[in-house]
Amino acid sequence: MVRTSDSILGETNNAVVLREADFAPVVYFPRADISMELLERSTLKIACPYKGEASYFSIFDKNGVLLDAVWSYETPMSGIESITRMLAFAVNKTVVEQM
C-alpha cells in the first residue's frame, strides 16, 4: 500500500522491488493499482546512469500538493524492463507499506 497522510493512493499484489547497491529498496507500483486521478505529471525529469530518464509526478490530495513525489521510467535501460511505466514514491513524502 502507498499513502500520504490523508489519502490512500493505491494497493497492489504486483509490486516490483528494486534493490541497488547500498540504497534502500524501492517499491514500484503498477499504474493500474494507483489512483492516477490524484497524480499530475510534472516537468521534472532526471537522468539516472543505471536506469535511464525518470519522469516525475506530483500528488494532489486533500491537504494540497506534494511536488515531484512520484517517479517513473517510461523506457528504462536494458535489464530492468520490469519497472517500465511503474510508479515509485518518495519515502519522505509518502508511506509505502509492503503487504
Residue 21 backbone dihedrals phi, psi, to 5 degrees: 40, -125
The CATH classification number of 2-96 equals: 2.170.150.40
**pLDDT per position as a tens digit, 14-58:** 999 999 888 899 999 999 999 999 999 999 999 999 999 999 999
pTM: 0.94
- Report the pLDDT averaged over residues 74-94: 96
Residues 6+ apart with CB under 8 A from 75: 52, 53, 84
Nearest to 60 by CA among 43, 42, 46: 42
pLDDT at 99: 59
- Rounded to an integer, what distance in angstroms lies between the CA atom of residue 69 and that of residue 59? 7
Q: Looking at the chain, how many residues does it have? A: 99
**Per-domain residue ranges for the chain?**
2-96
